[in-house]
Structure 1
Amino acid sequence: MTQQQRLNALLELISERGNVSIAEIGDALDISAATARRDLSTLAGQRLVTRTHGGAAALGSGYELPLQYKIARQAEAKVAIAKATAALIQVSDTVGVNGGTTTSEVARELGRSERFVRGDGDDGVTIVTNALNIAYELSVRPHVKIVVTGGVSRRQSYELVGPMVTASLAEMALDVAVLGVDGLTGRFGATTVHEGEADVSRQFASVAKKVVVVADSTKLGRSTFARIAPLSVVDVLVTDVAVEPELRRELEAAGVEVVVASATA
């Protein structure tokens, strides 16, 4: 296990438990006490955890892993979801994409797909995003037109939030909105952990002809703090597993098409 992988796993462990001891870290990650202490010092130095006597604690009850530490989680599932989602996009579409690891994979797939490379020099696809990392990464793709909303940057997710995002999206009409979420249930619909990001995702959905939610298996059947939209707003769910029967019934009742991506596709 590399140091980056250990840090990923350690942050996830602290996120799940709230606080951990050196002994618990050693048992969970199969590392020595000395290595655990060094890794905790690294994370504490980056202000990602708080050191305690004999261990560490999350920064607060609403602890959220920074984006760069989420990238390796469910990696194969996210790539499969990205491929299946890109297949839903037509050449010359205008696509709204919010921030997150799964939507970043979707944007990468659109950026490298030969299907969107046009010989006439026109843009193969237009991507409207509030995610700075997506805009930066795709800015070198000649067939992709990048439009970035205004807003104030949120360092946890590299997303722009606030009223300037709403103002810019109000002037647009999107063919498709691709939304990453932190939870999806029948009762609460699509949810996320931050109210500012929820509002932006809601705005994306309001100006799109079609709303596609991309969510791996860890997001299904759970709800988080901030509601984005009920299931009735969602047109398509792209996920990596067969949906549990109860949630599938709720999705069908709301008219949501379910696409299950194959990791071998």
Structure 2
Amino acid sequence: MTQQQRLNRVLELVSERGSVSIAEIGDALGVSTATVRRDLNTLAEQRLVTRTHGGATALGSGYELPLQYKTARQAEAKVAIARAVAGLVQPGDSVGLNGGTTTSEVARELGRSERLRSRGDAPGVTIVTNALNIAYELSVREHVKIVVTGGVPRRQSYELVGPLVGAALREFSIDTAVLGVDGLSAGFGATTMHEGEAEASREIAAVARRVVIAADATKLGRSTFARICPLSRIDVLVTDQPVSAELAAELAGSSVEIVVAPRS
């Protein structure tokens, strides 16, 4: 296990439990006490955890892993979801993408797609996004036209937030909005951890003719702090495992199509 993988796992443990001891981390990772101490010191220096005498605690109750530490979580599922989402996009379409690891995989899949390559002078696909990392990655793809909203970037997610996001988006009409979420439930619909990101995602959905939620199975049946939109605003859910009967019934009642992405 590399240091980056260890740091990812330590942050996951802190996120899940709120507080962990050095012994618990050592047992979970199979590493020495000295290694755990070094890793915790590294994370504390980066202000990602609060160091305690016997371990570490989360910075607050609304603890959110930074994007760079989420990339390894549910990786296979996210790649499968990205392929399925890309299959919903047609050449010449405009696609709105919010930030996150799943939508970043969707962006990569759109960027690699031979099917979506340009025909003549028109772009193969137009991506409208508030995510700086997505815009950066796709900027080298000749068949992709990138439009970036204004806004103020969040360190945790590389997403632009604030009133400039909506001001830019209201000038566009998008074929499909693809939104990554932190939770999807019958009671609260699509949710995320941060109210600014929720507002930005809501603005993307507002100018789209179709709203697609891209969420792995760990996000289903749970809700987080800030609502993006109710189920009634969602057209398609793309996920990696069959949905529970209860949630499936609620989705059907809101006319949400469910697509379960096959894993290769």
For residue 73 of structure 2, give the secondary structure of its aligned residue in structure 1. Answer: coil
Q: What is the alpha-carbon distance in structure 2 between the residues aligned to residue 51 and residue 216 of structure 1? A: 31
Quote how far apart the aligned CAs of 1:2 are.
1.1
Q: 1:38-187, aligned counterparts within 5 Å?
A: 38-187=38-187
| Number of the residue aligned with 1:5 | 5
Quote how far apart the aligned CAs of 1:122 are.
2.2
Q: What is the alpha-carbon distance in structure 2 between the residues aligned to residue 174 and residue 119 of structure 1? A: 20
Q: What is the alpha-carbon distance in structure 1 between the residues aligned to residue 242 and residue 61 of structure 2? A: 31
Contact 1:121–1:143 (CA under 8 A) maintained in structure 2: no
1:56-111: CA deviation from partner (whole Å, max 9, x where unpaired): 11111111000000000000000000000000001000100000000000000000
Q: What is the alpha-carbon distance in structure 2 between the residues aligned to residue 215 and residue 232 of structure 1? A: 17
Q: What is the alpha-carbon distance in structure 2 between the residues aligned to residue 61 and residue 116 of structure 1? A: 42
The one-letter code matched in structure 2 to 1:70 is K
Quote how far apart the aligned CAs of 1:5 are.
0.8
| Number of the residue aligned with 1:191 | 191
Contact 1:85–1:106 (CA under 8 A) maintained in structure 2: yes
Q: What is the alpha-carbon distance in structure 2 between the residues aligned to residue 222 and residue 119 of structure 1? A: 42
The one-letter code matched in structure 2 to 1:29 is L
Q: What is the alpha-carbon distance in structure 2 between the residues aligned to residue 22 and residue 201 of structure 1? A: 38
Question: Which stretches of structure 1, 4 residues or more, deviate above 6 A after TM superposition?
Answer: none
| Number of the residue aligned with 2:232 | 232
Q: What is the alpha-carbon distance in structure 1 between the residues aligned to residue 120 and residue 95 of structure 2? A: 20
Contact 1:95–1:125 (CA under 8 A) maintained in structure 2: yes
Question: TM-score w.r.t. structure 2 length?
Answer: 0.99
The one-letter code matched in structure 1 to 2:135 is A
Deviating more after overlay: 114-123 vs 252-261: 114-123
For this pair of structures, how many residues does the alignment match? 264
Q: Give the gaps of 5 or more residues in structure 1.
A: none
Question: TM-score w.r.t. structure 1 length?
Answer: 0.98
For residue 175 of structure 1, give the secondary structure of its aligned residue in structure 2. Answer: strand
For residue 168 of structure 1, give the secondary structure of its aligned residue in structure 2. Answer: helix
For residue 60 of structure 2, give the secondary structure of its aligned residue in structure 1. Answer: coil
For residue 115 of structure 2, give the secondary structure of its aligned residue in structure 1. Answer: helix
Q: What is the alpha-carbon distance in structure 2 between the residues aligned to residue 178 and residue 169 of structure 1? A: 14
Q: What is the alpha-carbon distance in structure 2 between the residues aligned to residue 117 and residue 201 of structure 1? A: 27
Q: What is the alpha-carbon distance in structure 2 between the residues aligned to residue 229 and residue 47 of structure 1? A: 32
| Number of the residue aligned with 1:211 | 211
Q: What is the alpha-carbon distance in structure 1 between the residues aligned to residue 187 and residue 16 of structure 2? A: 24
| Number of the residue aligned with 1:221 | 221
Q: How high is the sequence identity, in percent, across the aligned residues?
A: 74
Q: What is the alpha-carbon distance in structure 1 between the residues aligned to residue 119 and residue 187 of structure 2? A: 47
Quote how far apart the aligned CAs of 1:121 are.
3.5
Q: What is the alpha-carbon distance in structure 2 between the residues aligned to residue 37 and residue 20 of structure 1? A: 12
The one-letter code matched in structure 2 to 1:20 is V
1:16-38: CA deviation from partner (whole Å, max 9, x where unpaired): 11111111111121111011001
Deviating more after overlay: 12-21 vs 141-150: 12-21
Quote how far apart the aligned CAs of 1:45 are.
1.2
Quote how far apart the aligned CAs of 1:50 are.
1.1
Deviating more after overlay: 53-62 vs 170-179: 53-62
The one-letter code matched in structure 2 to 1:106 is V
